[in-house]
Structure 1
Amino acid sequence: MDVPTLIQPGIAIAGEAARFPVRRIFCVGRNYAEHAREMGHDPDAEPPFFFTKPADAAVAGGALPFPSRTGDLHHEVELVVALGRGGTNVDRADALGLVFGSAVGLDLTRRDMQAVAKKLARPWDMAKGFDASAPIAPLTRGLPAPDAAITLTIDGDLRQRGRLSDLIWPIDALIAELSTYVALAAGDLIFTGTPSGVGPIHRGETLVASVDGLPPLELRFD
């Protein structure tokens, strides 16, 4: 057997031929107060916590296969930040200097699988880190306005709505905090949290995720 040749995961950059190479995907949980409450938690009682997805979970929009082993797939629209530089124990004042660009993405969750894992006190990696679990629109260099609106519609119906200014831990604080756990590097993506209104996705539905000032993400599950 020959040594396999691996393909570097990557995402599109708006208006450019080059693609952004994805090294790692980090996600932060419960970073909007209303979402924390709808999940049964006090947003003022805990620091941010992080989980990961595999790099090749990052895919473009369009038609996607409905994930296996779930009857309760949930949407979570998020601002995604892409790092062009890294560091360890980054000062908050320097954190935004690591940012290459940003995009709107979806943190997809096999909610039924996650609920079972939580009940049994087991890791819920497979509820979050499955194939194509991180659809992302093309990156735009820089960041959107601090008060930009973030929304998600399904078949034209508004399901999630918030503003980036509602983030409990803003982007600079998230980067600084995450850099105390791991050495950040160019190619890392950070999903920054989702507003309230998370809910199920059904086959054949069309989702449109948006952050003002960034290309939208449109997809459906067959």
Structure 2
Amino acid sequence: MDNETTRKLAVLIDADNAQPSIIEGLLAEIAKYGTANVKRIYGDWTSPHLKSWKDALLQHSIQPIQQFGYTRGKNATDSAMIIDAMDLLYTEKFDGFCLISSDSDFTKLAARIRESGLVVYGFGERKTPEPFVAACDKFIYTEVLRQDEDEVTGSLERKNTNQLKQDTKLVNLLRNAVKAASDESGWAHLAPVGSYIAKQSPDFDPRNYGYSKLGELVEATHLFEMEHRPVGEGQSKAIYIKDKRK
């Protein structure tokens, strides 16, 4: 597998199902996973409801793709985006795709791209149907992308320890990940724990709970022991965690 940060990515945005307020956070998030070699956004640009997107397109060099709504009630944008995605896939020039939409119509597209061995990052609102979320390698809810840099939670309220402990799905996910990544003594390096969680739950993100990093979220649950161990002779340290039940 190529280094994640060097991946060549195709970024395809469904303008009908995304808001321009996310664009800066979106592109900053995508930069964590690779380079956006292609940035396209699809919609009927003769429609007044897409007017708010136009300044963002110029500022961030995103190519608008015009798609007229030929038939009332039919989403022509989806079809155009899917056709373009397949054309880009067949060029074999990309390592992954970023699909920005809250529409379940892209579920099959995400699955097809992954079948070809490419990674798929999905971005959409919390209302995004579960099948599309599950079809992606990783899914990021766009609510966390609207945050200011000085605010960890943005529009999301930080959950306290009691709320985290009562979230059975979260607790089981963390405990299972620690168990899978732990050594014989029960200690697990945080990085493999995060990798295991990502494979089990594409939409997992500490920011969904109001925390910027996995380590902060784990610590807030008060369910795990934590150690910061030095790495080599440098100043950097690695985080290890252990289930307190052990």
TM-score by length of 2: 0.22
Structure with more helix by fraction: 2
* Structure (1/2) with the larger strand percentage: 1
